[in-house]
A and B are shown apart, each in its own frame.
Chain A
Amino acid sequence: MATDQKVDFAQVFPEYENPFVGPDAPDREMIQRCIHCGFCGTSCPTFTLLGNEMDSPRGRIYLMRMVTDGEMAPNETVIKHLDRCLDCRACETACPSGVPYGSLIEAAREGLEKIRKRPLSVRIFRRFLFRWLLPNRTLLNLAGVATRLYQTTFLKSVVRGLGLLPRKLAELEPMMPQAPPVSSMRALPPEVAPIGEEKYRVAFFGGCIQSTLFGDVNRAAIRALAANGVRVVFPASQTCCGALQAHAGDREAARILARENIDAIDAGAFDAVILAVSGCGAMLHEYKDLLAEDPVYASRAEAFSDKAMDVTVFLSRIGVREAAHPSSRKIAYHHPCHLFHALKVRKEPLEVLAAIRNVETVPLEESDWCCGSAGSYNLTQTEISMRLLERKMGHVKDSEAPVVCTGNPGCQIQIAFGARERDMDLRVVHPVVLLDEAYEAEGVYRNATLP
Chain B
Amino acid sequence: MDSAGFIQKLTDVVGEEFIHTDPVALRTYDCDGLTIYKGIPSAVVLPESTEEVSQIVETCRDYRVPLIARGAGTGLSGGATPLPGGVLIVFTRMNKILELDYVNRLARVQPGVVNLHLSRETLPHGFHYAPDPSSQAACTIGGNAAENSGGAHCLKYGMTTNHIMEMTVVLPTGEVAHLGADGEDTPGLDLRGFFIGSEGTFAVITELTVRLTPNPESVRTMLACFSQVGDACRTVSEVIAAGAVPAAMELMDRYTIEAVETVVQAGYPRDAEAVLLIELDGLPSSIGPLETLIRDISEKNNCSSFRIAQTEEEREGLWMGRKKAFGAFGVIAPTYYCLDGTVPRSKLAQVLEEFDEISARYNLRITNVFHAGDGSLHPNVLFDDRVPGETERAIECGAEVLRACIRAGGVLSGEHGIGIEKIREMKDQFDEPTLEIMERVRDAIDEDGLMNPGKLIPDEENVFPVALGGAVARMGGGMTK
Contact = CB atoms under 8 A, between A and B. Distances in A.
B248 interface: no
A32 B38 contact: no
Contacts of B72: 38, 41-42
| A32, A34, A42, A78: residue with the most chain B Cβ atoms closer than 10 Å | A42
Given A35-B477, A36-B474, A78 B24 contact: yes
B478 A38 contact: yes
Nearest to B29: A53
A53 B28 contact: yes
A34 B40 CA distance: 20
A35 B326 CA distance: 9
Interface size class of B (residues with CB under 8 A): 35 or more
Given A37-B477, A38-B135, A52 B20 contact: yes
A76 to B, nearest CB: 9
A97 interface: yes
- From A42, A59, A95, A96, name the one whose CB has the most chain B CB atoms within 10 angstroms: A96
- Kindly name the residue among A62, A71, A72, A97 whose own CB sees the greatest number of chain B CB atoms within 10 A: A97
Contacts of B116: 42
B443 to A, nearest CB: 31
Interface in B1-56: 20, 22-33, 35, 38, 40, 44, 46
Nearest to B32: A38
A34 B28 CA distance: 14
B478 A36 contact: yes
B28 A37 contact: no
A54 interface: yes
B48 to A, nearest CB: 10
B241 interface: no
Contacts of B31: 36
A1 B35 CA distance: 19
B464 to A, nearest CB: 13
Contact of A51 (B22, B23, B92, B327): B92
B22 A77 contact: yes
A77 B327 CA distance: 29
Contacts of A34: 473-474
A65 interface: yes
B138 interface: yes
Interface string A140-157: 000000000000000000
Contacts of B438: none
Contacts of B137: 39, 42-43, 94
Contacts of A32: 334, 473-474
A51 B334 contact: no
B24 A3 contact: no
Interface in B136-195: 137-139
Nearest to B264: A96
Interface string B446-481: 000000000000000000000001110110111100
A230 interface: no
B479 A37 contact: yes
A104 to B, nearest CB: 14
Contact of A38 (B20, B33, B263): B33
Contacts of A322: none
Contacts of B479: 37
A43 B137 CA distance: 9
Interface string A1-25: 1011000000000000000000000
A96 B336 CA distance: 14
B28 A35 contact: no
B114 interface: yes
Given A37-B478, A98-B330, A54 B25 contact: yes
B74 interface: yes
B244 interface: no
Interface residues of A, number: 37
B387 to A, nearest CB: 13
A207 to B, nearest CB: 33
Contacts of B417: none
B324 interface: yes
A340 B93 CA distance: 28
B328 interface: yes
Interface string A43-75: 100010001111000010011011001011001
A33 interface: yes
A1 B25 CA distance: 12
Contacts of A77: 22, 24-25
Given A1-B40, A32-B334, A37 B326 contact: yes
A66 B28 CA distance: 10
A95 B117 CA distance: 18
B27 A72 contact: yes
B90 interface: yes
Nearest to B75: A38
B398 interface: no
Contacts of B246: none
A33 B333 CA distance: 10
A69 B135 CA distance: 29
Given A38-B135, A98-B263, A3 B40 contact: yes
B80 to A, nearest CB: 10
B360 interface: no
Interface string B300-322: 00000000000000000000000
Interface in B113-148: 114, 116-117, 135, 137-139
A33 to B, nearest CB: 5
Contacts of A35: 326-327, 330, 336, 473-474, 476-478
- Ordered nearest first, which 3 A-B pairs have the shortest CB separation? A96-B327, A37-B478, A35-B477
Interface of B: 20, 22-33, 35, 38, 40, 44, 46, 72-74, 90, 92-93, 95, 114, 116-117, 135, 137-139, 263, 323-324, 326-328, 330-331, 334, 336, 469-471, 473-474, 476-479
16 contacts: A32-B473, A33-B330, A35-B327, A35-B476, A35-B478, A36-B33, A38-B135, A42-B116, A42-B137, A53-B73, A54-B25, A63-B24, A72-B24, A75-B24, A77-B24, A98-B263
Interface of A: 1, 3-4, 32-43, 47, 51-54, 59, 62-63, 65-66, 69, 71-72, 75, 77-78, 81, 94-98
